Amino acid sequence: MSPRSASVNEELRRRSRERLLQATVDLVGERGYEATTLGAIADRAGSARGLISYYFPGKRQLLQSAVHRLMHLSLEAGLSREPYPDGPEAGRELLARAIDAILGLAQERPTLMRTHMAGILTAEGFIQCPEQQRLAQLLRDTVIRYGSADPDTDYPLLRALLMGAVVAVLLPGAPMPVSRLRGELFQRYGLDWRLGTPPEGELPPETDVALRAGPPPAVVERSSAAGTAAGQR
């Protein structure tokens, strides 16, 4: 039997890693972080226990990568679903879909997302793994499609706002309604409540949710400034 090619080995490693990531989100969602062992994750993934140490420094890093992969896949599915938006309003629809995708995960996977957010605030902090980088690129591209002239500033701001909204949804004993948080985010970015995936049967909360056209003033001002500067060159 001839040895496997480098490309075949690489594909096998990719699949093995993804099985471990999927097993992690499934088990932590079912049992919680503390009750989920690395051995149980390996068993669920059908992998050897040693492979986890090969791919990840520890359990916390494994969980962050697993959740970032889940967020990336959920966001990608939301952004690419049919009918795919086009025309001048496409960027606004994509941003609305992105907001709904992240808030939807907080609703659908509360144990998992609460554990993830708590882990980010530990001393080990935020891990820029490949899964996180793919998620970041999708959000950054969405901000650009929305009309940002300064995505290096606007993407981290959107990320911070989404993280804050997820924490507010999951706060034990004092959670905020998703519809209210959605309304606040849509108002900030000047998005019509009907864009994205609005909650079925719900009207916009009383936050003066904008049904106005065009990006918010900050984006317009930056875009105008960029255009003026370009014209002066």
The string of pLDDT tens digits covering residues 150-199 is 999 999 999 999 999 999 999 999 999 999 999 999 999 999 999 999 98
The helix/strand count (H/E) of the chain reads as 10, 0
CA-based nearest residue to 166, from 111, 114, 204: 114
**Contact partners, residue 91, CB within 8 Å, separation at least 6:** 142, 145, 146, 147
**Domains in the chain with CATH codes:** 1-55 (1.10.10.60), 60-232 (1.10.357)
CA-based nearest residue to 64, from 134, 127, 139, 107: 127
CA-based nearest residue to 33, from 68, 56, 67: 67
3 state DSSP class of 205 = coil
Which of 104-118, 169-183, 218-232 has the lowest average pLDDT? 218-232
Which of 11-15, 172-176, 199-203 has the lowest average pLDDT? 199-203
pLDDT band with cut points at 50, 70 and 90 for residue 226:
very low
Mean pLDDT, rounded, for 67-92: 95
> Rounded to 10 degrees, what is the CA torsion of 194, 199, 202, 205?
-70
Burial (CB count <10 Å: 0-12, 13-18, 19+), residue 204: buried
Residues in the chain: 233
> Rounded to 10 degrees, what is the CA torsion of 27, 72, 15, 112?
-10
Helices (H), 4-89: 6-31, 38-45, 49-55, 59-80
> Rounded to 10 degrees, what is the CA torsion of 5, 9, 11, 12?
140
pTM for this predicted structure = 0.83
